[in-house]
Structure 1
Amino acid sequence: MSPAHETPDLYGAYPRLGPAEMALLAACGTRHPTLPGEVLIREGERWPAFYVVLDGTVAVVEPSGDEERVHGVHGPGRFLGGLGLLTGQAGGLRAVVRDPGAVLSVPVADLRGVVDDHPGIGDVILRAYLIRRGVLAELEAGLRIMGSRHSPGSRRLREFAARNRLPHKWIDLEDDKEAGQLLDHLGFTPADVPVVILRGEKVLRAPGNAELARAGGMPAPLAREMVGDLVVVGAGPAGLAAAVYAASEGLSTVVVDAVAAGGLAAASALIGNHFGFPAGISGGELAERAAVQARKAGAEFTVPAKAVSLDRHERHYVICLEDGRSVSAHTVVVATGTRYRRLEVPGAAGFEGAGVHYAATPAEARLCMRAPVVVVGGGNDAGQAAIYLARHAARVRLLVRAGDLGRSMSRYLADELRRDPGVRILLNTEVRELVGDAGGELRAVVAEDTRTGERREIEAAAVFVLIGAEPQTRWLSGEVALDERGFVLTGPDVARLPASGTAARAPGEPWHESGRPFPLETSVMGVFAAGDVRAGSVKRVSSATGEGSMAVHLIHEHLKTTGHPPA
């Protein structure tokens, strides 16, 4: 195949490396002759090396039974791979030589060395890989999830796949009757659903998140127990920032999260006011970039891994996980963040995941293309969701409880909403009921004007609920001092607590050092809190990342006072 038949560069997904970049990579790579039909990487395997095509062409295909779906054909100067090459995640695509020639094979460890010394190459590779991940998601490549939209198990798997940006396609058995009949014919029972099909061969019956993660190629969790310098609980912006700075400064760092990297920020389709991104950036992409950066610095991730308790053992802390494992370290950063409150109105529970959503990412946007939707909330997340959904939905109604849009929303965002012709803002308005049609599909929202008491139905195929913030601190109850709303108390707030009855300054262990507790330190010495989970924090992504980095500085100070050198 001639270069004229190569896949075009889709917005930077398939760039060519220039002579200077090729020379740098050639210094640590090996030239490998290729033959037609030779498989450089198989689906389900981790990339053994970073490949650059020197001569000939290499096709990237998705096997599906006896057929292959071609996703790209790379010619001279183009490089293969995806984000999994950097994160250790197995891929779902196969790289096959089409026209004979040669490739440059660079070991992944050596590639990281080149990127460290020449950041420009890293920028090109990372940008291409992020775009490729997005293209695969748009094409619904990768694994297949089959289930009912009304099934909690199906909703859980879809959310997990979307939050971890695992390329997948959703097959709703309520709509695809032939798929349901096929499952019946093959002997599948309701207990086997949802069903996940991987690479046209392996089938998972009602898998848990951890099983899907491993089958989908996500890196396996830590298999060993050790006492490190730092455990970060929660991989939102604060946790990711702490991981990046801690690992890059030589602290042995482990990050655990119950669902995925990104936290609540990953539910945002566009963060428009984040420092350094004048055109904005999606929460998912920001999280992916930060996670890659943290792994590159040496941080280890364990996902999914839900923390259920914090215990003290001798001179270190033990985070016990839901699956029975534990992670130990001399210090802890609590960055479990918050989650949106559920919509407590008649009919809401029956539509969760099937009309009622708590995130507005591309996965949810595809479910309501050219349909009317309602967004509930008056904060930045709700405003960003409304603007994003207006590009896909027939119309968007933003229901705000307050009488002033600027009360809890950034001015730039409020101004943009007022200018957007696809968004209609309804102030002093609250949802009172959700209404379905005869087939059980969401049809409308009953909204009330709180000034007049007037109620009316608003047509809606989907409702996006982005209200309030509930801290994820139940696992800390009784161990770390919390305020009346459940947020973690730190610094001066801890210093004002009575000496008795607080969980960490355990009896007989008062704050005996000047300057303690540190600004982000909890009532437990050596346990810090950062981001939205902390009482009094500014609920912004930039503020959370700043607190995550600041926590690392304080951890160094703490380790000095306790005599623990970095592990």
Structure 2
Amino acid sequence: MAAEFPTETSSQTETSPPERRPRHAQTFPVLTHEEIDRIRRFGTPRSFSAGDMLFEAGRPAPGMFVVISGQVAVTQRDGLGHVTPVIEQGPGQFLAEIGQLSDRASLVDIRAESDVEALLIPPDQLRALLVAEADLGERITRALILRRVGLLESGFGSALIVGHPDHADVIRLQGFMNRNGQPYHLIDPCIDREGAAVLERISATCDQLPLVLCPDGSILQNPTEGEFARAMGMLGQGVTDKVFDVAVVGAGPAGLSTSVYAASEGLSVIALDCRSYGGQAGASARIENYFGFPTGISGRALVGRAFVQAQKFGVEIRIPVTVTKLDCDCADGIFQLHSADGDLIRARTVVVASGARYRRPDLEGLEDLEGRGIWYWASPLEAQRVRGREVILVGGGNSAGQAAVFLSGHADRVRMMVRRDSLASSMSRYLIDRLEASPNIDLMYETEIVGLEGSRLSGLERVRWRDKSNGEETTGDIRDVFLFIGADPETEWLDGCGVTVDQAGFVQTGNANDGGAESLPLESSLPGVFAIGDVRAGSVKRIGGAIGEGAAVVRSIHTYLSQAPMPEQSNGAVTAPVVDAPVA
């Protein structure tokens, strides 16, 4: 359901259209005096004069404010100085969105319109409030989620990307922001005067695109995802001075599940991922066989709820961070994780949930065409690009089937190529039935791509494929190919650490290790290092299985920690009850 994000003041709510009132009331609730009194023990009084800034876009937000008296204006501002009104808020209302569950930068400006008295609830106390005051916490959490949804749906964001919509690096940056739930907007300098003026002002040329304009006025030239995240304050503060109980490498369904359950039981947790939260599950347009969702749920919605839930329980989530090495010389009982950026993360246990990377077929010119017609993800961004076209999708698993069904609603024709002669052994029956019933999906069994034509400049232009049953080859003018042909385990960072992997590189656990029966469930050959989800040898490659393993490993972590010596330094976390369902 789309969230409304009205710009009316709270005094105008009663005159808004009836269908908008319930969503508006949930997004911007007014707390009673009794509810504010319940909140006071978590905050400290603050005073502001008219014109003072409570939040500034791009700068770390101090937490959540509850307005006691006075009026504030909430606006969005981008790198060109454009200001868009969001809402005015007054007594009894609170100022925050989900970014304030941690020390992330603000996405909006909030200015005092008059003298303001407020309560400041810092992130750690906000999380404690959400847990301790369950009914009030539910209302606040729902409002925080709806506000982020509203910012995403507004079509405006403090991050401004300047570039051509079809440019591979523009699509890369858009994909990064979309998958991490960050608002942004794009302007094309070819058709937008302000975009052209930006290039002229900084003497930039088209081959230097894309540019990113940050709310503080700084300009990035074709940044990496890490550079983009740091400039926008997405990574928060450093963690090198902390020792966590659990470091989870990978923020897919398995890693997020471990994070939620471990943190809800009082363990201090850091979760790291090199791309985005949700992993490959985030590419699923609709999951219809996951327990508890009879009408189905998109992968993005499911992992998005888990992402918020993990923050609610105090998980430190850092994306994008690429772990390059696990240092197992933990004489003091502490593992050390090295990142590509030179950061050092320390923890008493490590959960390997790094999943798998997309498998690439051995095709000449493939690398040059990635992001230029070769895709490993089928999101609304790619769907918009292929509208009215004929596309090819390669793969025979559930992810491939879900992607084909999704793309069939946008593309004129989807050629689904499968190397085997059947889907029965690799895909759920309900998906096979849907594919066979779709009029614009052609199931092409025993078929494989054997050639690509195009360049980095022009993108993919033509594709050649072979029917394995008779050797016949066909060439078609296809500009988009989606590859869902499986994945290889992300375990290179474990090299030299003594963690046993099988012949394919998947981490072996439990009785499959040299340790035999002495190993804890889901523990690798190295005590204190556990493996779950797709990266684990013998795991069920399904979202439900990954989430189950993520929950189950927490018991083994508790057992290990109870037997391991306590290091000199460790930081605690807010103790909270175990929660068995995603946040509504």
TM-score range for the pair, normalised by the shorter chain length = 0.7 to 0.9
Summarize the Cα distance change of 1:289–1:399 in structure 2 as closer, same or farther, 3 Å threshold.
same
Cα offset, 1:536, TM superposition: 0.7
Quickly say closer, same or farther: Cα 1:38–1:332, change in 2 above 3 A: closer
Q: 1:486 aligns with which of 501, 505, 520?
A: 505
- The aligned counterpart of 1:500 is none
Q: Which residue of 1 aligns with 2:104?
A: 89
TM-superposed deviation, 1:334: 0.9
Q: Secondary structure at the match of 1:363?
A: helix
Q: CA–CA distance in 2 between the matches of 1:373 and 1:308?
A: 36
Aligned counterpart, 1:545: 547
Partner of 2:302: 286
Distance 1:183 1:482, change over 3 A: same
Distance 1:237 1:559, change over 3 A: same
Deviation by residue 1:507-551 (Cα, 9 ceiling, x = unmatched): xxxx4xx83122311121221111100111111112112112222
Match of residue 342, structure 2, among 324, 328, 333: 324
Amino acid paired to 2:13: P
Is 1:250 matched with 2:266?
yes
1:299 is matched with which residue? 315
My pick for the range that moved more, 4-13 or 267-276, is 4-13
Give the 3 Å change call, closer, same or farther, for CA 300–203 of structure 1 in structure 2. same
Alpha carbons of structure 1 residues 410 and 122: separation in structure 2 relative to 1, 3 Å: farther
Structure 1 partner of 2:121: 107
CA distance in 1 between counterparts of 2:231 and 2:58 reads: 8
Structure 2 CA distance for partners of 1:204 and 1:418, relative to 1, 3 Å: same
Amino acid at match of 1:212: F
Are residue 42 (structure 1) and residue 43 (structure 2) matched?
no
Counterpart residue identity of residue 210, structure 1: G
Structure 1 counterpart of 2:203, from 184, 187, 205: 187
1:233 to 239, 249, 257: 249
The aligned amino acid for 1:303 is I
Q: Distance in 2 between matches of 1:103 and 1:389?
A: 51
Q: Distance in 2 between matches of 1:183 and 1:421?
A: 46
- Quote the offset at 1:180 in angstroms: 6.2
Give the counterpart of 1:309 among 320, 325, 333.
325
Partner of 1:218: 234
Q: Percent identity?
A: 38
Mean alpha-carbon deviation: is it higher for 358-367 or for 519-528? 358-367
Mean CA deviation greater in 66-75 or 444-453: 66-75
Equivalent of 2:485 in 467, 474, 477 = 467
Q: 1:61 aligns with which of 75, 94, 115?
A: 75
Whether the 8 Å contact between 1:191 and 1:206 is mirrored in structure 2 is: no
Amino acid at match of 1:400: V
User: Following the alignment from structure 1 to structure 2, what is the Cα–Cα distance between the partners of residues 327 and 31?
Assistant: 35
Once residues 337 and 11 of structure 1 are traced to their aligned partners in structure 2, the CA distance between those partners, rounded to angstroms, is: 40
Match of 2:39 in 1: 28
Higher-RCO chain (CA-CA 8 Å, sequence separation at least 6): 2
Report whether the alignment pairs 1:201 with 2:217: yes
**Offset, 1:386:** 2.0
Aligned to 2:575: none
Contact 2:464 2:475 in 1 (8 A): yes
Paired residue secondary structure (2:452): strand
Matching residue's letter, 2:418 = V
Normalising by structure 2, report the TM-score: 0.81
Q: 1:264 aligns with which of 240, 255, 280?
A: 280
Where in structure 2 are there 5+ consecutive unaligned residues? Answer: 1-8, 571-584
Distance 1:133 1:425 in 2: 39
CA distance in 2, matches of 1:379, 1:203: 42
CA contact (8 A) 1:6 1:74 kept: no
Matches within 5 A, 1:431-470: 431-436=449-454, 440-458=458-476, 460-470=478-488
How many angstroms apart in 1 are the aligned matches of 2:287 and 2:345? 32
| Paired residues of 1:235 and 1:255 also in contact (CA < 8 A) | yes
Matches within 5 A, 1:333-352: 333-352=351-370
Any stretches of 5+ residues in structure 1 without a counterpart?
496-510
Deviation at 1:118, TM superposition (A): 4.2
1: distance between equivalents of 2:479 and 2:191? 16
- TM-aligned CA distance change 1:256 to 1:412, over 3 Å: same
Which stretch shows the higher mean deviation, 13-22 or 405-414?
13-22
Task: Give per-residue Cα distances to partners, 1:166-208, cap 9 Å, x unaligned.
Answer: 2223456688799468525632367854321123833123433
Distance 1:258 1:395, change over 3 A: same
CA RMSD after TM alignment? 3.8
Give the whole-Å Cα distance in 2 for the aligned partners of 1:438 and 1:173. Answer: 21
